[in-house]
Amino acid sequence: MNSNELLPEALQGSSLKLKDNPSATKTLFIESYGCQMNFSDSEIVASILQNEGYTTTTQAGSADLILVNTCAIRDNAEIRVRQRLQDYKKIKSKSDKPVLIGVLGCMAERLKKQFLEEERLVDVVVGPDAYRDLPRLLHEAESGRQSINVLLSKEETYADIAPLRLDQNGVSGFVSIMRGCDNMCSFCVVPFTRGRERSRDPQSILQECEDAYNQGYREITLLGQNVDSYKFSSNTGIALFSDLLKLIAEHLPNLWIRFSTSHPKDMTDDVLQVMALYPNICKYIHLPVQSGSDSVLERMNRGYTSAWYLNRIKAIRHFIPDCAISTDIITGFCGENPSDHQETLQLMKTVNFDFAYMFMYSERPKTLAERKYTDDVPETEKHIRLQEVIALQREHSKNALQKYVGTNQWVLIEGDSKKSNAFWMGRNSQNAVVIFPKLDEKKGDRVNVSITSSTYTALLGNRIL
């Protein structure tokens, strides 16, 4: 998942503009929330519906079909989606034409009854594995029947559907390499909303990456709930994630390759060695730790200790000394005491993460944590601990950016700076944002920039001619 870089557990929303379809008879407005996988799924949905004669509008009020692709990772995500559905219900009631409203994605299975029966917010509910069924479901809804398909699949990967690229900058795109998750972390609802792991054929992934490159994309992020466990078996053998990275890097040497998300227990040296070998594989790894306390990690069912995690950090820095590392941290998980919290802060000081996504724990229905543990850390204490984590990470992020000052960095231009269209915004291999004055470059160019200063969030510099 533009502004949705590596947000595996954060909430974001945007309306996505699709390509015009000259034969279209209906209009679609689609809004996506959550992780990059959801934004990638919206591209699959857009492709399916384009083939059904839909074009799009950026105005929900003029749409025949309004779809919300949802996130169920955190409670505030659900609250925001519910509010949006209330807004769209009002639009529907005031429209002078029939309007259908649908919910897609991770909230669909868990809240299907509330959406369809109790609150009657939507006409169609579709789970992540049932997007191929959308045309039939919409046909049913048009006849006045509420429609639902939230069945999970052991095989569906949408490998044969060419996504309709929706990325706002047209430079950085997503390619899903696998679906589902087998890890069963006690706090996480993903295995219940996206099912078990299954991996795509590597040749289909390579073809999608090549198609994206031919469309002008210069960077691709390979997506999966746990990309390190990618495994595709065929008559010719077994392809692992390291094999897939090598395949794409060799065939598309001018394409920058990123990936998300990695799981510490599955991050192998083979992957790190391939990353070190190919310059077009970006030197950036998102490695969620969640907590620095072994007792908390055990209750989270993460499958590793803090010592194991630090060993993986050591391996990353051995094979890729210039690699940037980001993480996820949850404060206030069930049973977390002040000592556990201090261990998390200490791990942060040991690693010095370049960036982190930081959250207070919110209990999710159907998870092991809901069934087995008590959400016993007061909200006020969760908030205090979160603020301490944020303050420490803010300093680490600032220091991480300062180390680039005085260096030259290759930067992929993604578009105008948010503050001024006289400046470009791009990122280096380590995923750091770089701002520099425009000369004769264009979006999608990769240019060498001399870094002259840094802020808390970005690098500033000038292009080297």
Q: Does domain 13-149 have CATH number 3.40.50.12160?
A: yes
**pLDDT the model gives residue 10:** 30
- Give 408-463's CATH code, choosing from 3.30.200.20, 2.40.50.140, 1.10.8.80, 3.90.25.10: 2.40.50.140
Q: How buried is 29 (Cβ within 10 angstroms: 0-12 exposed, 13-18 middle, 19+ buried)? A: buried
**pLDDT the model gives residue 271:** 98
CA–CA distance from 263 to each of 160, 225, 450 (Å)? 27, 9, 34
**pLDDT the model gives residue 168:** 62
**pLDDT the model gives residue 419:** 92
Closest-CA residue to 158 (of 106, 199, 113)? 199
* Residues contacting residue 227 through CB under 8 Å, at least 6 positions apart: 177, 178, 241, 259, 260, 261, 262
Q: Could you tell me the two tokens for 413? A: 């231009």
**pLDDT the model gives residue 14:** 38
**pLDDT the model gives residue 5:** 34
CATH class of 172-401: alpha beta
**pLDDT the model gives residue 75:** 67
CB of 440 closer than 8 Å to CB of 414: no
- 408-463 has the same fold as 13-149: no
**pLDDT the model gives residue 12:** 34
Start-to-end Cα distance in the chain: 32
**pLDDT the model gives residue 79:** 80
Across the 465 residues of the chain, what is the mean pLDDT of every consecutive 10-residue run?
32 38 72 81 88 83 90 73 89 91 84 73 90 94 89 88 76 93 91 88 96 95 95 93 98 97 95 98 98 98 97 98 98 98 98 97 91 97 98 98 98 96 98 98 97 97 97
Global pTM value: 0.86
User: How is the chain split into domains, by residue range?
Assistant: 13-149, 172-401, 408-463
DSSP states along 261-307: ---GGG--HHHHHHHHH-TTB-SEEE---B-S-HHHHHHHT-S--HH
**pLDDT the model gives residue 226:** 93
